[in-house]
Structure 1
């Protein structure tokens, strides 16, 4: 998961550098007034999103498999805890009836 995040961040930073260069060289338009920095960041986000979607498909699938495995383990642990509570409750009720 961390690998995917770092790769995605790397693509964003690469796009940020390219967009910054294009804006300051005059090839891409500047933002209005003092919004130039925000313009560069937003344009970089818009460009990096589809690139990440296509380029990191395999890594995203591996990361989602990790998340699914963690969720399945957590569900199994919760179910085991519920079963232990049910057994303890049943044992306490049975002991109470025997008394």
Structure 2
């Protein structure tokens, strides 16, 4: 069985996926004339801004569980690093005293 990718990588990939889906959906709506085109040559910028504005709240709601899993993983990683640092410091103190 392949190792499970980190929660941060999964969250980032899912967030990019939601953004890409929003971008192409909005691009299609602009191309079809349902949404207004940008001014002059700013059409791509207009679609990017709309995709960001739409995908942010969608990601906030849809990826809540993934965000919590990522937070737990980060906290565990920080706790392990802190305990390892404390262990190394205690070993250094033991060497200095001896």
Deviation (angstroms), 1:24: 1.1
Which structure has the larger Rg over C-alpha atoms? Answer: 1
Q: What TM-score comes out, normalization by structure 1 length?
A: 0.86
Q: Deviations over 1:46-97 (max 9, x none)?
A: 1000000001101110111111111111111111111111111111xxxxxx
Aligned residues: 91
Pick the aligned partner of 2:57 from 14, 27, 50.
50
Unaligned runs of 5+ in 2: 1-7
RMSD (Å) for aligned C-alpha atoms? 0.9
Establish whether residue 6 from structure 1 lines up as the match of residue 31 from structure 2: no
Question: Which of 78, 83, 91 is matched with 1:76 structurally?
Answer: 83
Q: For structure 1, list consecutive stretches of 5 or more residues without a partner in the other structure.
A: 92-99
Higher relative contact order (CA 8 A, sep 6+): 2
- The 4+ residue runs of structure 1 with deviation greater than 3 A are none
